[in-house]
Amino acid sequence: MSSTLAPSGIDPATSPARALVCRACSARYPLVAQHACYECFGPLEVDHDTAALAAVTREQIEAGPRNIWRYAGLLPVGQDPATRVTLDPGFTPLVAAPRLAAEVGLTAPLWVKDDSANPTHSFKDRVVSVALTAARSLGFTRFACASTGNLANSVAAHAARAGAPSVVFIPSDLEQGKVVTTAVYGGDLVAIDGSYDDVNRLCGELVETDEFEDTAFVNVNVRPYYAEGSKTLGYEVAEQLGWRIPAQVVIPMASGELLTKVDKAFAELVEVGLVEAPAGGWRVFGAQSAGCSPIAAALHAGSDTIEPVKPTGIAKSLNIGDPAAGPYALEAVRRTGGWMAAADDDEIRAGIRLLARTAGVFAETAGGVTVAVLRTLVESGRLDPTAETVVFNTGEGLKTLDAVAGQAGPSHRIKASLRAARDAGLLG
Amino acid sequence: MSSTLAPSGIDPATSPARALVCRACSARYPLVAQHACYECFGPLEVDHDTAALAAVTREQIEAGPRNIWRYAGLLPVGQDPATRVTLDPGFTPLVAAPRLAAEVGLTAPLWVKDDSANPTHSFKDRVVSVALTAARSLGFTRFACASTGNLANSVAAHAARAGAPSVVFIPSDLEQGKVVTTAVYGGDLVAIDGSYDDVNRLCGELVETDEFEDTAFVNVNVRPYYAEGSKTLGYEVAEQLGWRIPAQVVIPMASGELLTKVDKAFAELVEVGLVEAPAGGWRVFGAQSAGCSPIAAALHAGSDTIEPVKPTGIAKSLNIGDPAAGPYALEAVRRTGGWMAAADDDEIRAGIRLLARTAGVFAETAGGVTVAVLRTLVESGRLDPTAETVVFNTGEGLKTLDAVAGQAGPSHRIKASLRAARDAGLLG
């Protein structure tokens, strides 16, 4: 079934999705398992019927479950709860961070959208729930992915909950926290000697084989559906702010897709009348690791071309050297008047600790990147310190413990006695 | 202010709490920072005004926030949101586990109450939020605890969010996941060469010193308030089942307090008319690690006396050798017709993997204990396989990775080529 024009199992009577459309040449395709345009090889995106989206009301959403499926009317699949393959992620906390704001020099409200609260503790649960629900509707019986770690955790956990087989492909140098947390769910886990980009390339070949005909690779053959799941982060931020779009958002970039989909979510909310367009619009900022910053480099060079890089550095979940949505992330940042910056490993570690100390949120390296870039953007004058800002923490510090383990240990070690406590200065 | 009869800051106009009462001799005390009876040294518990509790309605609760504070009308503190010191934990998923039920031999519905979804990924966020809210009401300005790890994480994170100083005491042999996840929040972290019981004893001495007069130890001087936070787990299970109490619950035991408070929560819900008493009542089952099972040992010996043990084994979060609430856990299990059992380290590891594989929930060792004991209780005929059952997962697998790291790695490791995939058997 993969990459064919077989009849779609996505029902236009319940889904607002109407077609897959090429982001490059606008060619249209039915709602099947296909991710690249036959005309120009551009990436495909789900096109929705605007009238169907506009029929969704705030009241319907607010009466829905406290997870991503409250937005089912704005998603391509999952309108019928019985069709969902899901851990019910989403509606994660939007945490006020006044002390972080003070430390980085913001005078306007600052919020942390904390997606470590998802079931497998990253934002990937959102995209996997949408991708696998689409996959089941399209007839697939096995679930797969190429992953830098968080996606692996999520696909394996979703498959376990659903009782379906899974096969997950990862680079062999991943953090132990992400390897164990995938393998424990019992599916196949294939470690590849190579980078994420090598893993992704191999999956692109496997998906074309007969042996994988029954297999949905969430970020390959059902990628257009998968990507739509990221919109829920944007919807939630707006709803949690009282149906308002913030003036500025700072978003980590791996493929760049999350950034483009948060921007798309804001645009959709305005287009269908769920929120008013904010005066002055919104500005989208992208954060990369200095060890893998091809999108930021293109922006800084004033180029439209993303030059692939060989990733290095501790922010492994962002280490995609050839980012598929890079050009679209560039476009969104330029169109909205945002900017991009990169953080080196020391800045990432400092960002993790700063966020923990000031907001009580323990982020993985990607969150450290975002907080470090927030600081850089304020210092460089690119981000307006007087405008409301939301930073996105997309993952959990427990998955990348090694990043800060050397800097976060006991402040004292003593024997179990009052005298020892006194000698250690704990009694003044 | 600790352990004195200073005027309470807990306002009876808004709080249903009326007094502290000795669980042993029923002596009554005002709502201050005190945890032991001056008459008999028995543990104190919060006594609530039944009429005030009975004024709480399902509609009020259901209109509240999706966290523990929806039950503020049943808690001693936190009725006014502005008084809360909290990460807003609670309302964690109640996950249907039909495949786990089938594997252990249950024919009735089985649910996993998954408290790894809390902000710091254990049930301790519930008790810490209530304890620190009480602490602030009572005038304390620094937050502390003795901890086997999860409590340390939670106190440090709560203090960071609130911008308050903290000092956390842990045994020096804790899992790295729990040490880093405490230290990263920036408070003082004191590693003690000794067991949890040694740590707890030292904290009992420190709390009496002048230098700690401003310090609330959540599980020492404000323990009665702390313990009430555990009731929210029982309330949530009942509400999530549609305002019903399940026939059987299986709960891990460290101090034994969680088990007693879930039982108390069910009794309160019936007493104040929020749920009907189930036909046949409910049965409470306790789960311990074989390396530390003093409460189960007393039950099995038909004794009322808990003989302290020196804990061993991988379930460190349950390693309390001298469990403060042991006698009350025994009483609850005997009164309701439940039972207790213990799981050894191999069974714990198998329990973690079984839960992950069948339900998509990755538990820490304590959750492995509970699932392993569920299996033992079914096999021994102590637990009725035809009666609805809820098992409690109190923590997150990422915090105790070492427990399963040796058993959960990649199933394949290959080069990045189709040929390598074929040679590894991935293509049939």
Same domain, A164 and A38: yes
Are A195 and A174 within 8 A, CB to CB?
A: no
Gyration radius (Cα) of chain B, Å? 21
In a domain, A422, yes or no: no
Confidence of residue A428 (pLDDT cuts 50, 70, 90): confident
- Partners of residue B192 in chain A, C-beta under 8 Å: 413-416
pLDDT value, residue A2: 38
In a domain, A412, yes or no: no
Residue B5 has pLDDT above 50, yes or no: no
Same domain, A239 and A282: yes
The domain that holds A138 is classified in CATH as 3.40.50.1100
Same domain, A24 and A151: yes
Mean pLDDT within A280-291? 97
pLDDT, mean over chain B: 95
Report CB contact under 8 Å: A408, B163.
Answer: no
Same domain, A213 and A130: yes
The pLDDT > 70 percentage for chain A reads 98
CA distance A206 to A212: 6
Mean pLDDT within A189-215? 95
The pLDDT > 70 percentage for chain B reads 98
Q: Count chain A–chain B contacts defined by CB atoms under 8 A.
A: 230
Confidence of residue A12 (pLDDT cuts 50, 70, 90): confident
Q: Please give the sequence-ordered ranges of beta strands (E in DSSP) within B86-164, or none if there are none.
A: 94-96, 110-114, 142-146
**Is the minimum CB–CB distance between B63 and chain A shorter than 8 Å?**
no
Report CB contact under 8 Å: A397, B181.
Answer: yes
In a domain, B104, yes or no: yes
Which of A226, A241, A274 is a domain's end point? A226
Burial (0-12, 13-18, 19+ Cβ within 10 Å), A386: exposed
- Partners of residue B209 in chain A, C-beta under 8 Å: 418, 427
Domain count for chain A: 2
Tens of pLDDT along B76-99? 999 999 999 999 999 999 999 999
Residue B338: which of B255, B262, B265, B396 has the closest Cα? B262
- Closest partner residue to A172 (CB to CB) among B209, B398, B413 is B413
Confidence of residue B11 (pLDDT cuts 50, 70, 90): confident
pLDDT value, residue A408: 87
Same domain, A170 and A267: no
Tens of pLDDT along A163-192? 999 999 999 988 888 899 999 999 999 999
pLDDT value, residue A5: 34
Confidence of residue A8 (pLDDT cuts 50, 70, 90): low
**Is the minimum CB–CB distance between B208 and chain A shorter than 8 Å?**
no
Report CB contact under 8 Å: A191, B404.
Answer: no
Q: How far is CA B104 from CA A270, A336, A378, B342, B343, in A?
A: 51, 56, 56, 16, 15
Residue B157 has pLDDT above 50, yes or no: yes
Same domain, B263 and B163: no
Higher-scoring residue by pLDDT: B167, B5: B167
In a domain, B3, yes or no: no
- Partners of residue B180 in chain A, C-beta under 8 Å: 397, 401, 404-405, 408-409
pLDDT value, residue B12: 85
- Give φ, ψ of A3 to 5 degrees: 55, 35
- Give φ, ψ of A45 to 5 degrees: -135, 155
> From the CA of B174, how many Å to the nearest CA of chain A?
11
Please identify among residues 360-399 of chain A the ones whose CB lies closer than 8 Å to any CB of chain B: 360, 362, 396-399
Residue B3 has pLDDT above 50, yes or no: no
Q: In what order do the strands lie in the sheet with B340-343?
A: B94-96, B110-114, B389-393, B248-252, B283-289, B340-343
Q: How far is CA B18 from CA A40, B52, B54, B63, in A?
A: 73, 10, 14, 26
Angle of the A326-336 helix axis to the A257-271 helix axis, nearest 10:
50
DSSP B395: B
In a domain, A12, yes or no: no
CA distance B190 to A393: 29
Confidence of residue B8 (pLDDT cuts 50, 70, 90): low
Are B427 and A209 within 8 A, CB to CB?
A: yes
In a domain, B420, yes or no: no
Residue B408 has pLDDT above 90, yes or no: no
Angle of the A326-336 helix axis to the A294-301 helix axis, nearest 10:
50
Same domain, A274 and A319: yes
Mean pLDDT within A294-314? 97
Mean pLDDT within B400-412? 91
Which of B226, B246, B265 is a domain's end point? B226
The pLDDT > 90 percentage for chain A reads 94
Report CB contact under 8 Å: A410, B167.
Answer: no
Report CB contact under 8 Å: B397, A87.
Answer: no
Report CB contact under 8 Å: B357, A185.
Answer: yes
Mean pLDDT within B284-296? 98
pLDDT value, residue A90: 98
Tens of pLDDT along B225-241? 999 999 999 999 999 99
pLDDT value, residue A1: 36
Same domain, A265 and A170: no
Same domain, B208 and B241: no
- Partners of residue B397 in chain A, C-beta under 8 Å: 180-181, 184
CA distance A22 to B281: 61
Is the predicted ipTM greater than 0.90, yes or no? Answer: yes
Tens of pLDDT along B182-201? 999 999 999 999 999 999 99
Tens of pLDDT along A129-165? 999 999 999 999 999 999 989 999 999 999 999 999 9
- Partners of residue B396 in chain A, C-beta under 8 Å: 398
In a domain, A410, yes or no: no
Residue A9: which of A142, A143, A140, A138 has the closest Cα? A138
Tens of pLDDT along B355-395? 999 999 999 999 999 999 999 999 999 999 999 999 999 99
Which tokens hold the place of B422?
């074929």
Same domain, B128 and B190: yes
Which of B226, B245, B264 is a domain's end point? B226
Mean pLDDT within B343-354? 98
Same domain, B181 and B234: no
CA distance B53 to A248: 45
Confidence of residue B174 (pLDDT cuts 50, 70, 90): confident
- Partners of residue B356 in chain A, C-beta under 8 Å: 157, 160, 184-186
Same domain, A46 and A102: no
In a domain, B6, yes or no: no
- Partners of residue B213 in chain A, C-beta under 8 Å: none
Higher-scoring residue by pLDDT: A77, B3: A77
Are A368 and A348 within 8 A, CB to CB?
A: yes
CA distance B334 to A58: 50
Range of the domain at B377: 94-121+230-405
Please identify among residues 114-133 of chain A the ones whose CB lies closer than 8 Å to any CB of chain B: 117, 119-121
Burial (0-12, 13-18, 19+ Cβ within 10 Å), B82: exposed
